[in-house]
Chains A and B, each alone.
Chain A
Amino acid sequence: MQHDIVIVGAGIAGMRAAIAAAEKSKRLSIALIAKTYPIRCHSVCAEGGTAAVLREGDSFDLHAWDTVKGSDFLADQDAVEFFVRECPVEIIRLENWGCPWSRNEDGTIAQRPFGGHSFNRATYAKDRTGFHEVHTLYERMLMYDNIEIFPEYFITNLAIENGAVQGVSAIHLKTGYMEFFQAKAVIFATGGAGRLYGFTTYSHQVTGDGLAIAYRNGIPLKDMEFFQFHPTGLIPSGILMTEGCRGEGGYLLNKNGERFMKRYAPEKMEVAPRDVVSRAMWTEIIEGRGFEGEYGPYIALDLRHLGEEKIEERLPLIRDAAIKFAGVDPVEEPIPVKPVAHYTMGGIDTNVRCETAVKGFFAAGECACVSIHGANRLGSNSTAECLVFGRVAGEVAAEYALNAKQGKISAEFRQKEEKRIFDDLLGKSGDESPYQIKRELNETMDSNMWIFREEKGLKEAVKKIQELKERYRNVEINDKSRGFNTDLTSAIEIGYMLDLAEVVAIGALKRQESRGAHYRLDYPKRDDENWLKHTIAYYTPEGPKFDYKPVTITKWEPVERKY
């Protein structure tokens, strides 16, 4: 198959990129491929809001400062300044395309408070913001004749020749055969890597495919040791209870009924940034002030004082999910929660134009690291990032494709890729179960690479992951059939996850400081002298090789971070 632009991943960033490219030129043929149907993507799980400066009293500088401070000064400030200026127009575009934003009485778009933001700038559609954004983008996308959607294609590799991208290979799930998409430009918008963890808010499909494929092809990953733990994951499933719960006035209580956040963030209380709140909650749990439950200790998220009317109006999904998945009606009882793996701050190293180390290859959204989130992302900045940088990637890739030669995937690449997947992986026998390997990986991540980290645990994790990688060479896929072989795709995903876990673990072991979401018990202070720098990880067959690069500072010198 032949296209001008191939976009992999059909969440907010991927679909926004497709629309941007299609708007750029009707002549461009654009393929959007994803392993699910577009509206089944993980972006639908975003709940609370999308940040944008829309109203008087707010300013770009304020949004930028909140983001930089939230990032614990690891964000690149030029990228942040660009980002905040581009957010508002994206909100209005979605509005014009039909997004059912919640409204003020006067008919203008409503906004709510969110963690770490010093202005109420989280634009929301009840507590289903991501869901409505995805459906709005998907439906708008249907208007463009030059966007062709390829749903349920599972990507296996990126073809790079002579230093430039040539296309991608993917398994068409329905037939089980491999297809090759040749393109002038390729955009990855494949999401994060949250299923590395067992207790996680992420959809089952978020296995870091794009990250691992880029990494294996020599494109470096940046700041992968920074993983966000959201304060409020529903017990036992890990389903996200939006920060909007606290934005709307909800309390966090320990077993003594105390709003303990007053001891950790006296000013911002429950709406301090996520790293701060999650550490506070975990400390309460470790020190024995959590509630005891059937599934271990937890913290109470109390919404009762908001009243049924407000909960129904602002947080209907939360109420429904708490009832269905935990048997708790938040109107009557507090919701049992604890911190949960939620966001991959790191990603494919890109510049502010979404360009990477390879010509014609771009990345946007959670799989990319621009970096605007640094060591800790603020709530409501992720969907905003997907909209802004999805658009940028689409536009820049379109400009590139209008002047580039058609990509060509060689016969040699095709044969090698088919052999690798169907002969070497599907065809071989072994005595390891990929699912057992995944279980052990999840356990290791949950115990050694959680909110509090230290050298001993990290070293154990590295050893364990390397052992799992070794065992993975001996997996056997039982289902030998072709069509919709989810046994095969699951096994490939687990392979991706192992490579990424190794980068996270070694990066975390090397970073001997505490910054944002990366907290080292043995190095509890931020160390700007030695560690105000981005981690860059390169693939080698023996494991990742590390390098570092400076953070771009424009206006704001690092200061102590207090809330």
Chain B
Amino acid sequence: MVRFKIRRYDGKKSYWQSFEVPARRGMTVLEALYYIKENYDSSLAFRASCRMGICGSCAMKINDKPRLACETQVLTLGNTVKVEPLDNFKVIKDLITEFDGFFEKHKAVKPYLIRKDDNYAEPKELLQSPEELNEYYVFTLCIKCGACYSVCPAAATLDECLGPAAMTAAYRFCADSRDEGQKERYEIASSSNGVWRCHLAMECSEVCPKNVEPAKAVQLLRRKTAFSILKSLLRW
């Protein structure tokens, strides 16, 4: 039996509740949450979908660290498992937090390929070498789970801060050989809520379940942004 201590919130008050779960080898924290919901307390609310670490629904704080519940094995966590909603997000109910703002920040960095010759009706295959693909590929792996944002010290003190995931998306497109939207994105990234807010704490890379290294993306974006500002100053 493993003891689950869950931080709950019903819209008014916040409290801890404990459950005993019969854990066997292979059981994940997500399966334990379903076990609790289906056998002990069906009001327990959490998000989940793919249960294979690719949809990004189930990031939560497990034993003080943000992780995906679906890929965290219960038996690696000891006799007591503490489960809480992510930090830096407003809690809606139990483990469910407000993500609208997070997705708005992602949208704000123009996370799509920008090309002058965009032709919906008659698209043409663009070439990209495997090396060019590798330049940005790792940054496409972000599942927008929010783990990075939940540990970001800049996001903790400033609600408007873009945060690591959005800035990673900005860099991902800037580094794509097919893209022509760098200038627009550098402007967004160098705004008061962008790359210069980063405290270089690097915790975002530490907790990323997909090893995307958002801290590295932010660093690279800083360099490019600085260079672009310098260039425009000199020209001026």
Which A residues form the contact surface with B (CB < 8 A)? 23, 36-37, 39-42, 44-45, 89, 92-93, 95-98, 100, 102-109, 128, 131-132, 135, 139-140, 142-143, 151, 174, 203-205, 236-237, 239-240, 294, 317, 320-321, 324-327, 433, 435, 477-479, 481, 483-487, 490
Contact = CB atoms under 8 A, between A and B. Distances in A.
B140 A484 contact: no
B42 A478 contact: yes
Interface in B143-191: 143-144, 169, 173, 176, 178-179
Nearest to B111: A139
Contact of A42 (B38, B50, B130, B133): B50
27 contacts: A40-B50, A45-B50, A45-B52, A45-B55, A92-B124, A93-B123, A95-B123, A96-B115, A96-B124, A97-B113, A98-B179, A105-B130, A107-B129, A139-B111, A140-B113, A203-B50, A203-B55, A204-B49, A239-B52, A294-B25, A325-B28, A435-B37, A435-B38, A479-B42, A479-B43, A481-B43, A484-B96
A189 to B, nearest CB: 16
Contacts of B56: 39-40
Contacts of A102: 130, 133
Contacts of A237: 26, 51-52
B64 interface: no
Contact of B51 (A41, A98, A236, A239): A239
Nearest to A109: B125
Contacts of B92: 174, 483-484
B127 A44 contact: no
A105 B129 contact: yes
B71 interface: yes
A237 B10 CA distance: 31
Chain A to chain B: the 4 pairs with minimum beta-carbon distance, closest first = A107-B127, A479-B43, A98-B113, A435-B38
Contacts of B205: none
Contacts of A106: 127, 129
B113 A108 contact: no
Interface string B95-126: 01001100100010001110100111001111
B113 A203 contact: no
Contacts of A485: 43, 45
B57 interface: yes
- Looking at chain B's contact residues, the main secondary structure is loop
A394 B92 CA distance: 34
Contact of A44 (B11, B50, B125, B178): B50
Nearest to A436: B38
Contact of A37 (B11, B99, B136): B99
A478 B43 contact: yes
**Which range holds the interface residue count of chain B?**
35 or more
A203 B107 contact: no
Contact of B52 (A108, A236, A321, A490): A321
Contacts of A97: 112-113
Given A324-B71, A478-B42, A484-B92, A96 B51 contact: no
Contact of B126 (A96, A174, A240): A96
Given A139-B111, A204-B49, A98 B176 contact: yes
Contacts of B55: 36, 39-42, 44-45, 203
A39 B41 CA distance: 29
A321 B50 CA distance: 12
A61 to B, nearest CB: 22
Given A40-B57, A435-B42, A486-B45, 9 more contacts: A36-B55, A42-B55, A142-B111, A151-B100, A294-B25, A317-B54, A324-B53, A325-B28, A483-B92
Contacts of A131: 54, 143
A171 to B, nearest CB: 14
A45 B54 CA distance: 7
Nearest to B27: A236
A495 to B, nearest CB: 15
A92 B120 CA distance: 10
A105 B52 CA distance: 31
B19 interface: no
Contact of A96 (B26, B118, B130): B118
Nearest to B57: A40
A95 B133 CA distance: 12
B54 A487 contact: no
A477 B43 CA distance: 9
